[in-house]
A and B are shown apart, each in its own frame.
Chain A
Amino acid sequence: MLNFMKYEIKGSIRYIGIIFITMILLSTFVLTTADINNVPRTIILSVISLMGGNIAILIHFVNSFSKEVYEDRGYLTLTLPISGDKIVLSKLLVTLLWYGIYSIIQFIFIYFILNKYSQILEQPVFTTMLSYGKEIIKSPEMILLVILSIFQLILFIMTVYFSIAISKAALGIKKVGKLIAFILFLLLNTGISYLNVLIERVLPFGVQFDIGRFSERSIMMNDIAMNATNEPFSINIPSIALNIILFILFLFTTGYILERKIDL
Chain B
Amino acid sequence: MSKIVEMKGLSKSYMNKIALKDVNLNIEKGKILGLLGPNGSGKTTMIKILMGILTQSSGEVYIDGKKPGTGTKAIVSYLPDRNFLYKWMKVKDAINFFNDFYEDFDMMRAKELLKFMELEENIKVSKLSKGMIEKLHLTLVLSRRAKLYILDEPIAGVDPVAREKILDAIINNYNEDSSMIITTHLVKDLERVFNEVAFLKYGEIVLTGDVEELRVERAMSVDEIYREVFK
A touches B (Cβ under 8 A): yes
Across-interface contacts of B80 in A (CB, < 8 A): 72, 75, 79
- The verdict on B176 contacting chain A, using a C-beta distance below 8 Å, is no
- The verdict on A154 contacting chain B, using a C-beta distance below 8 Å, is no
Q: With the chains together, A120 CA to B74 CA distance in Å? A: 64
| Size of the chain B interface, CB-CB below 8 angstroms | 25
Across-interface contacts of B52 in A (CB, < 8 A): 79, 259
Q: With the chains together, A247 CA to B73 CA distance in Å? A: 27
The dominant DSSP class at the B interface is: loop
- The verdict on A83 contacting chain B, using a C-beta distance below 8 Å, is yes
| Size of the chain A interface, CB-CB below 8 angstroms | 23
The CB with the most chain A CB atoms within 10 A, among B69, B78, B97, is that of B97
Q: A260-B55, A263-B54 are in contact. Are A81 and B84 (CB under 8 A)?
A: no
- The verdict on B231 contacting chain A, using a C-beta distance below 8 Å, is no
Contact A264 B71 (CB under 8 A): no
Contact B86 A11 (CB under 8 A): yes
Q: A72-B83, A81-B73, A264-B48 are in contact. Are A3 and B88 (CB under 8 A)?
A: no
Q: With the chains together, A79 CA to B102 CA distance in Å? A: 11
Contact B86 A81 (CB under 8 A): no
Across-interface contacts of A6 in B (CB, < 8 A): 100
Residues facing B in A176-197 (CB within 8 A) are none
Q: With the chains together, A71 CA to B102 CA distance in Å? A: 22
How far does the Cβ of A236 sit from chain B's closest Cβ, in whole Å? Answer: 38
Contact A72 B84 (CB under 8 A): yes
Sorted from nearest, which 6 A-B pairs have the closest CB atoms?
A: A81-B74, A75-B84, A72-B82, A81-B73, A75-B80, A76-B84
Q: A72-B84, A79-B80, A262-B53 known; 7 other A-B pairs, CB under 8 Å?
A: A10-B88, A10-B93, A14-B88, A73-B85, A76-B85, A81-B71, A81-B101
The chain A residues found within 8 Å of chain B, CB to CB, are: 3, 6-7, 10-11, 14, 72-76, 78-83, 259-264
The chain B residues found within 8 Å of chain A, CB to CB, are: 48, 51-55, 69-71, 73-74, 78, 80, 82-88, 93, 97, 100-102
